[in-house]
Chains A and B, each alone.
Chain A
Amino acid sequence: MIWLWIMNIILVVSAVLLIGLLKGVLGAAKSITPTINAIAGVAGAISKDLDAVVVLLTTQNYISQIVGSVANYGGSLDVALPDA
């Protein structure tokens, strides 16, 4: 009979610990959800901002033209100015 009461006490303690742990897991899981939603919003905004990456191709074209103009200018300076 005593053993039964001891088992009851152990069960009570175990139930308290188990409920505490499960509550912690549930709280962590609930805290992840808003973070995931925030990350989804930021990812969408980043994806929208990256639409301007296509302009880099235009920039590359401009850079090539500018470097060509600089090369022509350097050639003219090479002819106009005497060497050291």
Chain B
Amino acid sequence: MDTVVVVPLAFMSLALAVMLVLITAIIAALALFLTATIVQLVKINRGLSVVIGGVGEIVAKTAPVNGVLDAINGNLVAGRNLLENLFIKKAGDDAGGLVESLFPGEGAKFLQRVGRRGPVVNTGVVYTRGVIILASLGRGAPIGAAHAKGPAVRDPQYSTTAASMLYPRPGGDPKARPKSPVVGSGVPQRYEAATTPGVRPRNRDGSDAPAPSAAPDMPTGRIEYRQPEAAPPASGGGGDAPADPGRLNVKGKRPWER
């Protein structure tokens, strides 16, 4: 074998020798780079095997999500339809305006979604929320005082205060208390709060009122007998007077004075 290879090289020209060296170098480079590439592809294959396992877990864990979300969505849609139908039933033609007052820009969409047509009047611009609530409760709130197309009735900054000023609050804001009914000089007449029902601490002229003359009747637990007063003389008007005139009815009148 050695004679076969070595003998031709000895007589080979320089060009042929260079060619053989080049071909050998090319084959060696091919082998080197392809081997390195194969090693990298093996690493990629191993990495993809790991990724496939993780992706399989993801697919398995997300499989029931669609059914659960569809069920949740169905329940929410049913609840929404129920509330919307109830709202339309109770609010009627004002439904769009009420939605517009709470969510600006949504009134028309609401009417379109429920299949209704008509103008959307923002009720919150015309009436305060408190007025609408009082009106719905039948408290006689002054709704209708302004036209729907007119300027806003409520104070845009203190709308709740404006609604609360409509009715007096006992012991609350003095501005909400009813005015004094007294007419004349020195009005309004201001009274001090009485500590005892029916007892006024001061007179109208400012002087101290006298203390109660006697303590109120308190139960003693004993039976007391009072001597009846003398019967009035018989006259023409009270012929049917009973023998015991001391007994009064609940109105403070005697039975024959009804």
- With A26-B36, A78-B86, A78-B89: A33-B43 Cβ-Cβ less than 8 Å: yes
| B71 adjacent to chain A (CB < 8 Å) | yes
Contact B72 A59 (CB under 8 A): yes
The interface residues of chain B lying within 8 Å CB-to-CB of A14 are 26
Q: Give the contacts of B1-33 with A (CB-CB under 8 A).
A: 13, 15-16, 18-19, 22-23, 25-26, 29-30, 33
Given the complex, which residues of A lie within 8 Å of B106, measured CB to CB?
A: none
Question: Would A25 and B37 be within 8 Å (CB), given that A74-B82, A84-B94 are in contact?
Answer: yes
Name A's B-contacting residues (CB within 8 A): 1, 4-5, 7-8, 11-12, 14-15, 18-19, 22-23, 25-26, 29-30, 32-33, 36-37, 39-40, 43-44, 46-47, 50-51, 53, 56-57, 59-60, 63-64, 66-67, 70-71, 74, 77-78, 81-84
Binding site for A on B (CB under 8 A): 13, 15-16, 18-19, 22-23, 25-26, 29-30, 33-34, 36-37, 40-41, 43-44, 47-48, 50-51, 53-55, 57-58, 61-62, 64-65, 68-69, 71-72, 75-76, 78-79, 82-83, 86, 89-94, 136
- A selection of 28 A-B contacts at a CB cut-off of 8 Å is A1-B13, A1-B15, A4-B13, A4-B16, A11-B26, A15-B25, A15-B26, A15-B29, A25-B33, A26-B40, A29-B40, A29-B44, A33-B43, A33-B44, A36-B47, A50-B62, A51-B61, A53-B62, A56-B65, A63-B76, A64-B75, A66-B79, A67-B75, A78-B90, A81-B136, A83-B90, A84-B90, A84-B91
